[in-house]
Amino acid sequence: MEEKKISVKKILLRFLCFILVTILMLVIFLFCVMRVVCKGPSQTAAELFVRSVRETSAIGFLADIFFTDEEIAAMEASSNTVIEETDTSLITVSTPSGESSDQPFTDAWGHTDADGDGLIYEVIHGSTYTGYMLIVLDPSRVKLGCFPNTGKGYTVQEFVEMNDAVAGINGGGFADENGQGDGSMPDTAYVHDGTVYYGSLGVGRGFIGIDDNYILHVGLDSLDAVEENHIVEGTGFGPVLVVNGEMADEESLLSGLNPRTAIGQRSDGAILLLVIDGRQTNSLGASYTDLAEIMVKYGAVNACNLDGGSSTLMWFNGQYVNNCASVIGIRTIPTSFIVLKKGAADNG
């Protein structure tokens, strides 16, 4: 019996050693792969690696292993592009035929609202990503989901359900040191129902907001500009992807591949809500340029990047339609762009 116990212990010890050696070999392999990418002949691959990990709170330190602060700063440098003021004359908001009945409706871009609910949902594919687009035909249905001064964050699902809405995406950023933020504190001001919250935090890299005529503005550079443009729903983030029908300057769109979230608006006023899966074997993620190209393809006159990475999620038809990239589960966040039920905006 004693010999049998010793034999079992030996087997368990050998198995444990095997697991540890396997993990060690995997770590060494991944380190070697990253070193080849970072120190290999391709500067483009190195810059893509740096931008991808530096856009992530939890693993941004990986860039520090292979590059100096000066090298990282040079790779992340982008042009100080001056964003044009949003030309509101390019947007004509009108109630689309699909919003006045429950009948199927095909818009001017060839996208069909088959059930007449005023929403068009499509899956899109690129060379490095899978994404999900929700077209909201009536822009008055899009609001900022938020619960100011509660001292906690909420999931996209909670923002949708607690506002009796039908869809939503994540919104602005939040304090997230080492990827452990709880979403309770935004990192910029935001506006809901015309009221500014956390104004002392400013607008960050730029403000995205919907005015009292349901027109989306991008790249507002101050809270004064937010007030002057009568923004009633919005938050800070960036960069701007499309402004007045043109893609933003190429250098301002330099980025890595990551999960992404973006919002845009077509010339007919329809709001475009986009999420991109990332950090998966079948969907590495998208760059800012990818987002801009998608938005232009879907007719966006103006569009802007929102918080991404592990926060990127879209809730629609009672479920998350994309895959959460967070290893710790669904993130709680301070804001979300939500879509009200058909007719709810008028009743409100």
User: What residue ranges in 53-189 does DSSP mark as E strands?
Assistant: 105-106, 112-113, 119-125, 130-136, 142-146, 165-170
Q: What is the pLDDT of residue 79?
A: 46
Q: CB-hemisphere CA count at 13 Å for 296?
A: 15
Q: What is the pLDDT of residue 51?
A: 58
DSSP 250: G
Nearby residues of 252 by Cβ (< 8 Å), 6 or more positions away: 78, 79, 81, 239, 240, 288
Q: What is the pLDDT of residue 309?
A: 93
DSSP 89: G
Task: Write the CA distances from 49 to 67, 178, 251, integer angstroms.
Answer: 11, 18, 17
The residues pairing with 170 across neighbouring beta strands, listed in sequence order, are 336
Per-residue pLDDT of the chain (348 residues; tens, 9 = 90+): 555 555 666 677 777 776 776 776 676 766 565 566 566 665 655 555 555 555 555 555 656 666 666 655 665 555 455 678 999 999 999 765 556 567 788 999 999 999 999 999 999 999 999 999 999 999 999 999 999 989 999 999 999 999 999 999 999 999 988 778 899 999 999 999 999 999 999 999 899 999 999 999 999 999 999 999 999 999 999 999 999 999 999 888 988 999 999 999 999 999 999 999 999 999 999 999 999 999 999 999 999 999 999 999 999 999 999 999 988 889 999 999 999 998 876 665
**Angle 122-290-327 from CA coordinates, rounded to 5°:** 75
Q: What is the pLDDT of residue 120?
A: 97
Q: Tell me whether residue 9 is exposed, middle or buried, using C-beta atoms within 10 angstroms of its C-beta: 0 to 12, 13 to 18, 19 or more.
A: exposed
